[in-house]
Amino acid sequence: MHENDFLALAQPGLRRLRPYDPGHDIVALRRRFGARLVELGGNENPHGPSPRAREAILDALGQLARYPDPLGGDLKAALANKLGVDAAQILLGNGSHELLMQFAQAFCGPEAGVVMSRYGFAVYPLAALAADAPLTVAEALPEGHPMHRGHDLDAIRAAVDERTRLVYLCNPSNPVGTWFPSADLERFLASLPEQVLVVVDEAYAEYVEVPELQSALTLLPRFPRLIVTRTFSKGYGLAGLRVGYAVAQPGLVAVMERLRESFNVNLPGLAAAEAALADEEHLAWHVEQNRIEREWLSTRLRDRGLYVHPSQTNFLLVDFGRDATPYEEALLAQGVVPRPMRGYGLPTCLRISIGTRSENQRLLSGLEGAGA
């Protein structure tokens, strides 16, 4: 049977769905370039996880014949203590990606829609489509605004109607890197009708330095329909283990537990995440290195006449003012991997993860060779 024959048997939302696009076949590129490859497309931590996390992974290897804790109790307890919440407010996921998909699956459908910003994370529309839920995309902040292409909370609020059930926000934003102040989020939440749940994706929270942006976790006691998601893939350097979590009201978490897959977080992941969470010194060192390199790289890219969006993350969205494909191809030919943005409707842009100084210098050399 042909793929279309099986597609006809699938649920309506799935028929319109396209697989998540990672940008490049990174495995093939690793085989081609080996140790010379500079990976600046996945917003990963170039310094790797805490040494404590590495030790925890090795210790966990002796237990691989056993299932992991299905409740993730130790990690939940550590997170609850770190964040100042109750363990019953925490939902663990196989990365935050899994949770972002499941919120739509649990609460949305043909009569319960999703609202997101124009340049929101690519998983949000996938979640809406998979749930066969109407998707409304609000326009982003316009050119000339300091946070150009970032979330326009007024436009998002105007897009909410009686059929809206879920709003996805990303703060700081992926793929743009911009942010909106906590005071603006508070006003936005207060303006919403009661049936609307709001997911604030804080995948890059560890990198935030500006005082006007505090975690949405502080607003949870006031807004019971608020959900905050985070991940260990970015600041904590555990992207390969896929560990994420959400914090929400216990009643909402209880509903999601009905949907959660059994043993959805693996045993080394649970152990490594708990150990990484305890190593505040390593996280602080990495965040400081990221800040230094972000400022250094931003300055040099702007000196070349390129538009670099403001960022409170571990990446930069760079606008070349023309089709970015030739620059992408020139970098790839030299073993430097950026993230193309055509899938986001930004063909003139590349998203560039912050690497080490030597990796960032390789990037600049590659751009110079391409005429940028």
Beta-strand pair 113-117/38-39: unpaired
Q: How far apart are CA 261 and CA 248, in angstroms?
A: 18
CA 207 from centroid of its chain's CA atoms: 13
Q: What is the pLDDT along the chain (372 residues), one digit of tens a residue?
A: 666 778 778 777 777 777 767 777 878 888 888 888 889 999 999 999 999 999 999 999 999 999 999 999 999 999 999 999 999 999 999 999 999 999 999 999 999 999 999 999 999 999 999 999 999 999 999 999 999 999 999 999 999 999 999 999 999 999 999 999 999 999 999 999 999 999 999 999 999 999 999 999 999 999 999 999 999 999 999 999 999 999 999 999 999 999 998 899 999 999 999 999 999 999 999 999 999 999 999 999 999 999 999 999 999 999 999 999 999 999 999 999 999 999 999 999 999 999 999 999 999 999 987 776
Q: How far apart are CA 40 and CA 281, in angstroms?
A: 24
Predicted confidence at residue 3, as pLDDT, reads 65
Give the 3-state secondary structure of residue 117.
strand
Query: Position 201: which residue type?
Result: D
Predicted confidence at residue 13, as pLDDT, reads 72
Task: Break the chain into its structural domains and give their ranges.
Answer: 3-48+281-369, 51-279
Q: Quick check: 265 and 72 in contact, CB under 8 A?
A: yes
Predicted confidence at residue 33, as pLDDT, reads 82
Record the tokens describing residue 69, joined without a space. 């804790």
CATH of domain 51-279: 3.40.640.10
Q: How far apart are CA 100 and CA 121, in angstroms?
A: 10
On whether the 3-48+281-369 domain is CATH 2.40.50.100, my answer is: no
Record the tokens describing residue 108, joined without a space. 């949305």
pTM given for the model: 0.94
∠ Cα 62 64 69 (to 5°):
110
Beta-strand pair 336-337/315-319: unpaired
Q: How far apart are CA 14 and CA 29, in angstroms?
A: 30
Beta-strand pair 349-353/315-319: antiparallel
Predicted confidence at residue 24, as pLDDT, reads 79
